[in-house]
Amino acid sequence: MASVFSLPEPLQKFLSKFPLHTYPPILVTSRRPLQKPTLWIAPPRTTAVDQTSNSDILSTDVECLKWQAYIALRGVTDIAARWDISPEGGIDGRLPCLHTPSFGDASSELLAPRSIPGWVDGRVGGGNDSLNGYSDETLKDESHAWVSLLEGIVHTALTLSEPPQPVLSQLFRTATAGGRVLAATFSPPPAPLTGLSSVLPSYGTNITLSSIQGQYAEAIASLSERLGTDKWFLGSENPTALDALAFAYLHCLLYSMDSTRIEVTRRVNLVAWEQRVRTEVDAAFTVA
C-alpha cells in the first residue's frame, strides 16, 4: 500500500544522491582458534614471554591471582592465561574472565568470576559439599573471619604500599580501591582529606600506611599463627577458597614495599607456604 505521505520532489532528488545500501553480515573468524580454557588476567610482573618457564605468568592483581590460585588448587590444569585484554574488555568492565572453548554441544562462553566455581565443579566435581572443603561448620564460619581480615586491613595495606601516583590519582584512590571502601576497615573512621580550613567540602579519607601498620602487623602475625605447620589453612585436608585468597595476598605482599613485605618475610612458615603453593599454581597455567 502506497504511503499517503510523499516527500517534496526537490527533497527526493537530494536524498537520491545518498542511497541506502545493505550488506550481508561479516563472519568473524578468529586467527587463533581457542584450543583450551583461557583466563584473562591483569598483566604479570614482567610481560616477556619465556617459553621454558612460567615464572612470569602470575598476575600482579590480587583479584586475578586469587582466581588463578582457585582454579589451580581445585586440581584443574592446562589452563592458558593471557593479559593483552584491558579490563574494559571483560564482563562488567573487570578482570579476570574465563573464556571456555566449544566442546560437543556446548558453545564457547566468556565467564565472569562468579561463574568460575560452577565451571570448576563441572570439571572436577565436588560442588555438593555444604562445608566448602572445611572439616566442620565451625571452621567454615571461622573462614569468613579470615576472609574479612584479608580483604580488609591486609588489602588496605597492600593498596597503600603501591608505588606513588599523581596527586589527583591518590585523591580518588584513598577513597576506594579495587571496588572496596578503605574507610570501612577503620573504627573510628579516618579523617577526611579536606577539613574545616579547606575551601573544598569534606571529601575522601586521609589514610596512610603508617596509620595502619600496627593493625597490619597483627593481622599477618595472626595469619602465621593460625597456619602453624598445617598444609592448608584451618587444618583442611584439601585446599579451600581461603587458601587461594591467602596465597594471592601473600604473593602480592612479598613483592610490595619493604615496610609491608617485611612483616611477611619475618614469618618463615608463611614464606615457605607461599613458595609451595606458587609452584602448584605455576604448573597449572601456560601462556596463551
| pLDDT (0 to 100) of residue 199 | 61
| pLDDT (0 to 100) of residue 53 | 47
| pLDDT (0 to 100) of residue 18 | 84
Residues of the chain with pLDDT below 50 are: 50-54, 173-180
| pLDDT (0 to 100) of residue 253 | 96
| pLDDT (0 to 100) of residue 211 | 82
| pLDDT (0 to 100) of residue 177 | 45
| pLDDT (0 to 100) of residue 69 | 98
**CA separation for the pair 58, 278 (Å, rounded):** 9
| pLDDT (0 to 100) of residue 233 | 98
pTM: 0.80
| pLDDT (0 to 100) of residue 202 | 58
The size of the chain, in residues, is: 288
**CA separation for the pair 147, 219 (Å, rounded):** 11
